[in-house]
Structure 1
Amino acid sequence: MQPAPFYADVAEAPPGGAAFWITATDGVRLRIAMWTGGEKGQVLLIPGRTEYIEKYGQAAGELIARGFSVAVLDYRGQGLADRLADDPMKGHVGAFADYQLDITAALSAMTAFGLRGPLHLLCHSLGGCLGLRALHTQPGIASAAFSAPMWGILLPRLLAPIAPAIAAVLQTLGMGSRFVPGGSGVTYVVANGFDGNTLTKDRQMWDYMARQAKSHPDLTLGSPTVHWLRRALVECHDLMVLPAPATPCLTYLGTDEAIVEPKAIKTRMASWPSARLELIDGAEHELMMEIPTIRTRFYDDIAAHFLQNGTAPLNAAPTAD
């Protein structure tokens, strides 16, 4: 593993961490940051779409304070990982299965760096989609916690049933590499102000995200491509028809969610025997960026969940480059 940049000036992360370049088996370069020393287990934090390691500097501190080692991943197409489109501001991936190569590389890096103990996943939004797939494909995960997981994408009621067909037609017409209709290359927290935003009700956390994006625009990402949307809709559908994993799960969802599909989350959780859903009144999409009382409740609850289910060891993974 080679050292990688880490923008400590905006991350507000705890001391003692280190960032590295790692490489997936198909040659895509990724970035991971890790903090060791936790005696209660290790957590792989898988961010949402458009996100990056520095956004979770405070989250890493919360988990470390509760006794866990932490790793946060820039997976392909965002953060400082390799971008995959002609325009680096386009959110794009070849196939959703490719994201699992990134998770495998991250698990290998965690072992190489010395993270030990039961392995837990903490996944937000798109990361929740990748994390759910990982529960079906990756060995040795003791438990998982999800923040507003993308198990469905919230679309207008009349558009939702035909959105996959529309995306397929646009791709057939050679428009797969274009931004989705109405999309742009400007990231959300730069294009919008705090008032009326769909991420958080906490002004300080909004400013934290906006300050990062404006200070280091190379971290940011705009709207997805048509191809990405099409593959995302297919992956959400495929995950929903699978039986629930056996892995213990805790999911947080705000009642003011306006980005991912709440119905899909409630449906999945209702069929997951070893799972618990917490509905947080008044919260928006970013549970880890919400008002302080919600953040404290979230971190205390997931720490207790991880401790209660900290029995499965991390199996050996292939060595990352």
Structure 2
Amino acid sequence: MRQEAARPAPFHAGVADAPPGVVAVWAQAGAVRIRLASWRAGDRGTVFLLPGRTECIEKYGRAAGDLVARGFSVITIDWRGQGLADRALPDRLMGHVGDFDEYQRDLDAMLAEAERLDLPRPWFMLAHSMGGCIGLRGLMRGLPIRAAVFSAPMWGIAMAPWQKPLAALVSALAAPLRLTGRYAPSTGPAVYLATAPFAGNVLTTDREMWDYMRRQVVEVPDLALAGPSVGWVSAALRECAELAALPAPRVPTICALGTAEKVVAVAPIHLRMAGWAQGQLDLYPGAEHEIMMEGPATRARFFDRAAALFAAQGR
């Protein structure tokens, strides 16, 4: 029997280009209010779409459409501290958590909503960037996910060699010097999509998809997020190190990675996938960080391969 309906949440359809039939709701992850959105389609199962840092539900409107067109229901999330979810600091442009365990509470709330809606099983995961870090921890916790696809997962943070000792020092001093609620070095309140030019950007080589993402944060500023806090960076470094020490979960997976990746560290991805018995590393020549936001041919290849993996494991 389904539970009572959750409280409706806003969804900015005008910038999302999403399929019809969205159900957007508020949910509680402990004391923190997060936002969830879902689309029901067919009987091939449900994809848990886990966004990256700075991202919002609307950014994945087209991705939801690609999955729905292939017969999959979709549920996605505004993680705490971004999108329309509660933000921890007075400066709402600063992304912050004290520990990545906080995101697992959000993930648990997402699963609870899928249960409440009785979304079709089996359940699958599609996780991008920071969502790939959160999703990997979820798989290691034993979440009921039949197969997973990762897109440029944040299993390590890209840094120049000189930045690594500085990051370690800042992380060690963050709490004693009360730095956790300040912008991390080399970051600030500028929203990348709103301020960076398309030429030379590190997200996508496709101008139309760049404009799609940019329009969301320009027309709906409440969806935007800027640089991370020192506390977030410290928590991310800890989580990546802890995950790297653990064996790969026994879940069939594909990890998609662009050869022009500049946002996340590439070496930990290659290392992880080399030891993933049921995993495949899928390289996209010339693609940047946002494989789901590249041109039509790249996007079609990505979603076709994800759908094939999910269909094979859903039998």
TM-score scaled to structure 2, two decimals?
0.96
Contact 1:287–1:295 at 8 Å: present in 2 too? yes
CA–CA distance in 2 between the matches of 1:164 and 1:268? 22
* Equivalent of 2:79 in 70, 75, 78: 75
Deviation for aligned residue 1:116 = 1.3
Which letter does structure 1 place at the counterpart of 2:55? E
Which secondary structure does the structure 1 equivalent of 2:110 belong to? helix
Give the equivalent residue in structure 2 for 1:266.
270
Give the equivalent residue in structure 2 for 1:315.
none
* Equivalent of 1:172 in 168, 172, 176: 176
Q: Is 1:23 aligned with 2:28?
A: yes
Give the percent of matched residue pairs that are identical in Structure 1 and Structure 2.
Answer: 49
Give the equivalent residue in structure 2 for 1:106.
110
Q: Is 1:140 aligned with 2:138?
A: no
**Which residues of 2 match residues 150-229 of structure 1 at below 5 A?**
150-229=154-233
Q: Is 1:121 aligned with 2:125?
A: yes
CA–CA distance in 2 between the matches of 1:38 and 1:85? 41
Deviation for aligned residue 1:166 = 2.7
Q: How many residues in Structure 1 have an aligned counterpart in Structure 2?
A: 310
Give the equivalent residue in structure 2 for 1:278.
282
CA–CA distance in 1 between the matches of 2:67 and 2:189? 32
CA–CA distance in 2 between the matches of 1:20 and 1:210? 24
Deviation for aligned residue 1:171 = 3.6
Which letter does structure 1 place at the counterpart of 2:136? L
Deviation for aligned residue 1:162 = 5.0
Which secondary structure does the structure 2 equivalent of 1:61 belong to? helix
Contact 1:36–1:114 at 8 Å: present in 2 too? no
Deviation for aligned residue 1:193 = 1.0
Which letter does structure 1 place at the counterpart of 2:105? L
CA–CA distance in 2 between the matches of 1:256 and 1:171? 35
* Consecutive unaligned residues in structure 1, runs of 5 or more: 312-321
Which secondary structure does the structure 1 equivalent of 2:146 belong to? strand
* Equivalent of 2:10 in 5, 23, 48: 5
CA–CA distance in 2 between the matches of 1:28 and 1:38? 32
Which stretches of structure 1, 4 residues or longer, exceed 3 Å deviation after superposition?
Answer: none
Of stretches 153-162 and 241-250 in structure 1, the one that deviates more from structure 2 is: 153-162
Which letter does structure 2 place at the counterpart of 1:299? F
Q: Is 1:130 aligned with 2:149?
A: no
Deviation for aligned residue 1:291 = 1.4
Deviation for aligned residue 1:11 = 0.3
RMSD: 1.1
Q: Is 1:305 aligned with 2:309?
A: yes
Which letter does structure 1 place at the counterpart of 2:12? Y
CA–CA distance in 1 between the matches of 2:126 and 2:273? 16
CA–CA distance in 2 between the matches of 1:162 and 1:308? 45
* Consecutive unaligned residues in structure 2, runs of 5 or more: 1-5
Which letter does structure 1 place at the counterpart of 2:15? V
Deviation for aligned residue 1:98 = 1.1
Of stretches 170-179 and 41-50 in structure 1, the one that deviates more from structure 2 is: 170-179
CA–CA distance in 1 between the matches of 2:18 and 2:172? 42
CA–CA distance in 1 between the matches of 2:245 and 2:145? 21
Higher RCO, 1 vs 2 (CA within 8 Å, ≥6 residues apart):
1
Which letter does structure 2 place at the counterpart of 1:131? G
Which letter does structure 2 place at the counterpart of 1:229? V
CA–CA distance in 2 between the matches of 1:171 and 1:183? 19
Deviation for aligned residue 1:231 = 0.7
Of stretches 302-311 and 65-74 in structure 1, the one that deviates more from structure 2 is: 302-311
Give the equivalent residue in structure 1 for 2:3.
none
Contact 1:104–1:138 at 8 Å: present in 2 too? no
Which letter does structure 1 place at the counterpart of 2:238? V
Q: Deviations over 1:188-222 (max 9, x none)?
A: 10120100000000000000011111000000101
Deviation for aligned residue 1:2 = 0.3
